[in-house]
Amino acid sequence: MGCTLQVVGFRSTPAATSKRVYSGVLLRDLHYSGRVAILFAADFPSESTRLRRVNDGSVRAVARGVWTDSPHLTPEQLVAAHWREIVAQFLPGAVITGRTGFDHVPEDGHLFVSHSRWRPLELPGLIVYPDGRDEHRDDDVELEYGLYGASIVRAIIDNSETRGRPSAPPRRLSAEELRDRLRRILAGMTGDERALLLAAINSDQNGVAADTAREIIASSYDVPLFDMF
Protein backbone atom coordinates (compact mmCIF):
# COMPACT_ATOMS: atom_id res chain seq x y z
CA MET A 1 0.00 0.00 0.00
CA GLY A 2 1.35 3.41 -0.95
CA CYS A 3 1.96 6.19 1.48
CA THR A 4 -1.16 8.27 2.14
CA LEU A 5 0.64 11.14 3.86
CA GLN A 6 -0.85 14.41 2.65
CA VAL A 7 1.30 17.45 2.01
CA VAL A 8 0.19 20.76 0.67
CA GLY A 9 1.31 22.02 -2.70
CA PHE A 10 2.21 25.28 -4.32
CA ARG A 11 -0.58 27.80 -4.73
CA SER A 12 -1.19 27.02 -8.39
CA THR A 13 -0.10 23.37 -8.38
CA PRO A 14 -2.86 20.81 -9.03
CA ALA A 15 -2.88 17.46 -7.28
CA ALA A 16 0.20 15.56 -8.41
CA THR A 17 2.82 13.10 -7.28
CA SER A 18 6.26 14.60 -6.68
CA LYS A 19 9.61 12.87 -7.29
CA ARG A 20 11.67 15.68 -5.81
CA VAL A 21 13.91 15.39 -2.79
CA TYR A 22 13.79 18.09 -0.12
CA SER A 23 16.14 18.03 2.86
CA GLY A 24 16.78 14.33 2.39
CA VAL A 25 13.07 13.39 2.21
CA LEU A 26 11.94 11.61 -0.93
CA LEU A 27 8.54 13.02 -1.85
CA ARG A 28 7.85 10.42 -4.52
CA ASP A 29 4.86 9.01 -2.64
CA LEU A 30 3.63 12.20 -1.05
CA HIS A 31 0.41 13.48 -2.58
CA TYR A 32 -0.07 17.20 -3.18
CA SER A 33 -3.63 18.12 -2.29
CA GLY A 34 -3.60 21.48 -4.08
CA ARG A 35 -4.18 23.38 -0.82
CA VAL A 36 -1.90 26.24 0.21
CA ALA A 37 1.24 25.07 2.02
CA ILE A 38 2.88 28.43 2.68
CA LEU A 39 0.88 31.27 4.21
CA PHE A 40 1.76 34.91 4.76
CA ALA A 41 -0.01 37.53 6.87
CA ALA A 42 -2.07 38.73 3.90
CA ASP A 43 -3.47 35.21 3.44
CA PHE A 44 -5.47 35.49 6.68
CA PRO A 45 -8.69 37.56 6.82
CA SER A 46 -7.50 39.13 10.05
CA GLU A 47 -4.84 38.83 12.72
CA SER A 48 -7.39 37.33 15.10
CA THR A 49 -8.14 34.63 12.53
CA ARG A 50 -4.46 33.82 12.25
CA LEU A 51 -4.02 33.68 16.02
CA ARG A 52 -7.07 31.45 16.36
CA ARG A 53 -5.77 29.04 13.72
CA VAL A 54 -2.35 28.95 15.34
CA ASN A 55 -3.92 28.28 18.73
CA ASP A 56 -6.15 25.49 17.44
CA GLY A 57 -3.21 23.89 15.63
CA SER A 58 -4.61 24.16 12.10
CA VAL A 59 -1.61 26.28 11.09
CA ARG A 60 1.87 26.59 12.57
CA ALA A 61 4.77 28.96 12.19
CA VAL A 62 7.58 28.19 9.75
CA ALA A 63 9.53 31.41 10.26
CA ARG A 64 8.76 34.98 11.22
CA GLY A 65 5.89 36.07 8.98
CA VAL A 66 5.52 32.60 7.43
CA TRP A 67 3.05 29.87 8.39
CA THR A 68 1.92 26.52 7.01
CA ASP A 69 -1.10 24.25 7.28
CA SER A 70 1.02 21.15 6.67
CA PRO A 71 1.50 19.10 9.85
CA HIS A 72 4.05 16.73 8.37
CA LEU A 73 7.10 18.55 6.99
CA THR A 74 9.66 20.36 9.13
CA PRO A 75 10.27 24.10 8.69
CA GLU A 76 13.57 23.27 6.94
CA GLN A 77 11.81 20.98 4.48
CA LEU A 78 9.10 23.54 3.78
CA VAL A 79 11.66 26.29 3.15
CA ALA A 80 13.61 23.95 0.87
CA ALA A 81 10.44 23.36 -1.15
CA HIS A 82 9.14 26.94 -1.19
CA TRP A 83 12.17 29.20 -0.77
CA ARG A 84 11.51 31.14 -3.99
CA GLU A 85 7.99 32.06 -2.91
CA ILE A 86 9.18 33.06 0.56
CA VAL A 87 12.14 35.11 -0.67
CA ALA A 88 9.90 36.89 -3.19
CA GLN A 89 7.50 37.80 -0.37
CA PHE A 90 10.14 39.54 1.74
CA LEU A 91 12.54 40.70 -0.98
CA PRO A 92 10.29 41.39 -3.99
CA GLY A 93 12.11 41.75 -7.28
CA ALA A 94 15.41 40.50 -5.85
CA VAL A 95 18.09 39.39 -8.32
CA ILE A 96 20.02 36.24 -7.40
CA THR A 97 23.67 37.20 -7.80
CA GLY A 98 27.15 36.61 -6.44
CA ARG A 99 28.35 33.05 -6.08
CA THR A 100 24.72 31.86 -6.42
CA GLY A 101 24.21 33.90 -9.60
CA PHE A 102 25.21 31.13 -12.00
CA ASP A 103 22.73 28.43 -10.93
CA HIS A 104 20.10 30.65 -9.22
CA VAL A 105 19.79 28.29 -6.25
CA PRO A 106 21.10 28.40 -2.66
CA GLU A 107 24.57 27.08 -1.94
CA ASP A 108 25.19 25.38 1.40
CA GLY A 109 22.21 27.15 2.95
CA HIS A 110 23.15 30.60 1.62
CA LEU A 111 21.60 32.73 -1.13
CA PHE A 112 23.00 36.07 -2.31
CA VAL A 113 20.75 38.66 -3.93
CA SER A 114 20.75 42.24 -5.11
CA HIS A 115 18.00 44.06 -3.20
CA SER A 116 17.62 47.34 -1.33
CA ARG A 117 17.25 45.55 2.00
CA TRP A 118 20.42 45.40 4.10
CA ARG A 119 19.50 42.91 6.82
CA PRO A 120 19.84 39.18 6.02
CA LEU A 121 16.64 37.17 5.81
CA GLU A 122 17.03 34.23 8.17
CA LEU A 123 14.89 31.18 7.48
CA PRO A 124 15.10 27.59 8.72
CA GLY A 125 17.94 26.05 6.72
CA LEU A 126 18.51 29.15 4.59
CA ILE A 127 19.97 32.63 5.02
CA VAL A 128 19.46 35.20 2.26
CA TYR A 129 22.05 37.98 2.02
CA PRO A 130 20.90 41.16 0.20
CA ASP A 131 23.52 43.72 -0.83
CA GLY A 132 21.52 46.85 0.02
CA ARG A 133 21.35 47.83 -3.64
CA ASP A 134 18.41 47.49 -5.99
CA GLU A 135 20.37 46.85 -9.17
CA HIS A 136 18.53 45.46 -12.17
CA ARG A 137 20.04 44.91 -15.61
CA ASP A 138 18.35 44.42 -18.94
CA ASP A 139 19.84 40.94 -19.24
CA ASP A 140 18.55 39.68 -15.88
CA VAL A 141 16.69 36.38 -16.19
CA GLU A 142 13.06 36.44 -15.03
CA LEU A 143 12.24 33.65 -12.59
CA GLU A 144 9.00 32.66 -10.87
CA TYR A 145 7.26 34.75 -8.20
CA GLY A 146 8.83 37.95 -9.54
CA LEU A 147 12.40 37.00 -8.68
CA TYR A 148 15.27 37.43 -11.13
CA GLY A 149 18.55 35.66 -11.74
CA ALA A 150 21.81 37.07 -13.02
CA SER A 151 22.64 36.40 -16.65
CA ILE A 152 25.90 34.56 -17.35
CA VAL A 153 27.57 37.88 -18.15
CA ARG A 154 26.31 39.53 -14.96
CA ALA A 155 27.32 36.51 -12.87
CA ILE A 156 30.83 36.67 -14.32
CA ILE A 157 31.10 40.42 -13.74
CA ASP A 158 29.66 40.21 -10.21
CA ASN A 159 32.12 37.49 -9.25
CA SER A 160 35.04 39.35 -10.86
CA GLU A 161 34.39 42.45 -8.75
CA THR A 162 37.29 43.14 -6.39
CA ARG A 163 35.89 46.16 -4.56
CA GLY A 164 34.35 45.87 -1.13
CA ARG A 165 35.34 44.09 2.03
CA PRO A 166 35.47 40.29 2.24
CA SER A 167 32.37 38.79 3.79
CA ALA A 168 31.63 35.61 5.67
CA PRO A 169 30.30 33.56 4.06
CA PRO A 170 32.01 34.86 0.91
CA ARG A 171 29.58 36.59 -1.42
CA ARG A 172 31.73 35.99 -4.49
CA LEU A 173 33.58 33.01 -5.87
CA SER A 174 37.31 33.02 -5.33
CA ALA A 175 39.49 33.55 -8.40
CA GLU A 176 40.18 29.81 -8.54
CA GLU A 177 36.49 28.92 -8.15
CA LEU A 178 35.56 31.41 -10.86
CA ARG A 179 38.30 30.06 -13.12
CA ASP A 180 36.93 26.54 -12.76
CA ARG A 181 33.39 27.73 -13.40
CA LEU A 182 34.42 29.66 -16.51
CA ARG A 183 36.37 26.69 -17.80
CA ARG A 184 33.23 24.56 -17.64
CA ILE A 185 31.06 27.28 -19.20
CA LEU A 186 33.44 27.91 -22.09
CA ALA A 187 33.95 24.20 -22.72
CA GLY A 188 30.27 23.91 -23.58
CA MET A 189 30.30 26.82 -26.03
CA THR A 190 31.10 27.09 -29.70
CA GLY A 191 33.73 29.55 -30.89
CA ASP A 192 31.03 32.00 -31.95
CA GLU A 193 29.31 31.77 -28.56
CA ARG A 194 32.61 32.40 -26.80
CA ALA A 195 33.21 35.45 -28.98
CA LEU A 196 29.76 36.83 -28.13
CA LEU A 197 30.38 36.25 -24.43
CA LEU A 198 33.73 38.01 -24.52
CA ALA A 199 32.20 40.91 -26.48
CA ALA A 200 29.50 41.29 -23.83
CA ILE A 201 32.12 41.27 -21.07
CA ASN A 202 34.22 43.84 -22.95
CA SER A 203 31.25 46.19 -23.27
CA ASP A 204 30.18 45.96 -19.63
CA GLN A 205 30.06 49.27 -17.78
CA ASN A 206 32.11 47.85 -14.92
CA GLY A 207 35.41 48.05 -16.75
CA VAL A 208 37.55 47.02 -13.78
CA ALA A 209 35.58 43.82 -13.21
CA ALA A 210 35.55 43.16 -16.96
CA ASP A 211 39.35 43.39 -17.04
CA THR A 212 39.56 40.94 -14.14
CA ALA A 213 37.15 38.57 -15.89
CA ARG A 214 39.25 38.60 -19.06
CA GLU A 215 42.38 37.86 -17.07
CA ILE A 216 40.71 34.93 -15.31
CA ILE A 217 39.38 33.59 -18.61
CA ALA A 218 42.83 33.85 -20.19
CA SER A 219 44.49 32.14 -17.23
CA SER A 220 42.17 29.17 -17.68
CA TYR A 221 43.89 28.23 -20.92
CA ASP A 222 47.41 27.75 -22.20
CA VAL A 223 46.77 29.88 -25.29
CA PRO A 224 46.49 33.65 -25.69
CA LEU A 225 43.01 35.04 -25.14
CA PHE A 226 42.56 36.10 -28.75
CA ASP A 227 43.34 32.54 -29.91
CA MET A 228 40.53 31.07 -27.81
CA PHE A 229 37.87 32.43 -30.13
Angle subtended by helix axes 191-202 and 152-160, to nearest 10: 50
* Residue 106 sits in the same domain as residue 142: yes
* Residue 78 sits in the same domain as residue 106: no
Q: Is residue 130 part of a domain?
A: yes
* Residue 210 sits in the same domain as residue 97: yes
The domain in which residue 121 lies consists of 91-227
Q: Is residue 1 part of a domain?
A: no
Q: Is residue 27 part of a domain?
A: yes
* Residue 38 sits in the same domain as residue 129: no
Can you give the length of the chain in residues?
Answer: 229
Q: What local confidence, expressed as pLDDT, does residue 168 receive?
A: 76
In the chain, where do the E strands start and end?
A: 6-9, 16-17, 21-22, 25-26, 31-36, 38-39, 60-63, 66-68, 95-96, 110-114, 121-123, 126-130, 141-142, 148-149
* Residue 41 sits in the same domain as residue 100: no
Q: What local confidence, expressed as pLDDT, does residue 160 receive?
A: 94
Q: What local confidence, expressed as pLDDT, does residue 221 receive?
A: 63
* Residue 60 sits in the same domain as residue 169: no
Distance between CA 127 and CA 109 in Å, rounded? 6
* Residue 73 sits in the same domain as residue 133: no
* Residue 63 sits in the same domain as residue 168: no
Q: Is residue 216 part of a domain?
A: yes
* Residue 102 sits in the same domain as residue 74: no
* Residue 146 sits in the same domain as residue 221: yes
pLDDT in tens, the chain (229 residues): 333 222 222 222 222 323 333 333 333 333 333 455 799 999 999 999 999 999 999 999 999 999 999 888 899 999 999 999 999 999 999 999 999 999 999 999 999 999 999 999 999 999 999 999 989 999 999 999 999 999 999 999 999 987 766 677 999 999 999 999 999 998 898 989 989 999 999 999 898 999 999 888 888 764 444 444 4
* Residue 68 sits in the same domain as residue 131: no
Domain boundary among 83, 99, 125: 83
Q: Is residue 103 part of a domain?
A: yes
Domain boundary among 62, 83, 104: 83
* Residue 74 sits in the same domain as residue 107: no
Number of domains in the chain: 2
Q: What local confidence, expressed as pLDDT, does residue 182 receive?
A: 93
Task: List Cβ neighbours of 11 (8 Å cut-off, separation of 6 or more).
Answer: 36, 85
Domain boundary among 59, 83, 107: 83
With 0-12 CB in 10 A as exposed, 13-18 as middle and 19+ as buried, what is 127? Answer: middle
